[in-house]
Structure 1
């Protein structure tokens, strides 16, 4: 039953409890108890709105593979903290193997991306190598 609830909430996080209960075959009170329990357990970590990046002036999405020089914890932590704070960075992952990191950035256009890459990312002392991958088309996104 919990999996069914999660399935429907992933499809539409704005479902009312009454509608959710109807879809999963419960009455509203036990459905609400299950949702609250899933929230308290951290299974449901939040609710959000999916916003078209073009509406925010960020129609260009680029994935960047990053290899770094740094191997000591302090330098790695500083690199991660700096990159995570950049507004253009919408996703930032440390990887096993190569590359060390994958960063997803969303910017207005190619000029904005060039400025981000030149003025911010490539100038960081930890950066060894960068490789950009421009998105042609997003086929599936999100969870």
Structure 2
């Protein structure tokens, strides 16, 4: 991040807050005219600082009332098995994130479900049948305190 300056950081912060900003509004917010702002934005995209643009959807409006954080353990640590597990996890939409972690578990998943019954069925029928899975430990979110998703760029 050494090759970006204060204005680039301001652009990144503004876009994290509102990815639908027009170039004119973005330029105004960061104190540039439109052409240099567009040029900087293009460079930030090309250099990989901006991976993509997307909308943040409302979990509640879409009927997902349960968020679970799940520790997944393997009994056997085999690269082929882990690759299969990761491929299958990536294909399941309700698994929002999957991290290969250190510690007592092998993976940490974030999963959404409509309700507890839906989550229980998913756990029984899909999660426990994934390749390599020998144990799962669920923690259910009682209340979301922060879900900004923005990275610090200051």
Bin for the TM-score computed over the shorter chain: over 0.9
Q: Please identify, of 85-94 and 29-38, the stretch whose mean Cα deviation from structure 2 is larger.
A: 85-94
- 2:54 corresponds to 1:52: no
Aligned residue number for residue 49 of structure 2: 43
Paired with 1:106 and 1:133, the residues of 2 have a C-alpha distance of 12
Q: Which residue of 2 aligns with 1:92?
A: 98
Q: How many residues align?
A: 143
Match of 1:122 among 125, 128, 150: 128
Do structure 1's residue 8 and structure 2's residue 11 form an aligned pair? no
On the 8 A contact 2:84/2:131 being kept in 1, the answer is: no
SS of aligned partner of 1:36 = helix
Q: Distance in 2 between matches of 1:98 and 1:26?
A: 50
Q: Determine the C-alpha separation between the residues in 2 that align with 1:15 and 1:36.
A: 14
Superposition deviation, residue 125 in structure 1? 4.5
Distance 1:26 1:87 in 2: 40
Counterpart of 2:111 in structure 1 is 105
Deviations 1:46-105 (A, max 9, x none): 111000012222121111011112312111101111122112111111112332111011
CA distance in 2, matches of 1:133, 1:105: 10
Q: Quote the Cα distance in structure 2 between the aligned partners of 1:89 and 1:19.
A: 35
Name structure 2 gaps, 5 residues minimum: 1-6
Distance 2:118 2:76 in 1: 27
Structure 2 SS opposite 1:81: helix
Instruction: Give structure 1 stretches of 5+ with no counterpart.
Output: none
Residue aligning to 2:4:
none
Name the TM-score, length of structure 2 as normaliser.
0.88
> In 1, distance between residues paired with 2:23 and 2:92?
37
Normalising to structure 1: TM-score of the pair? 0.94
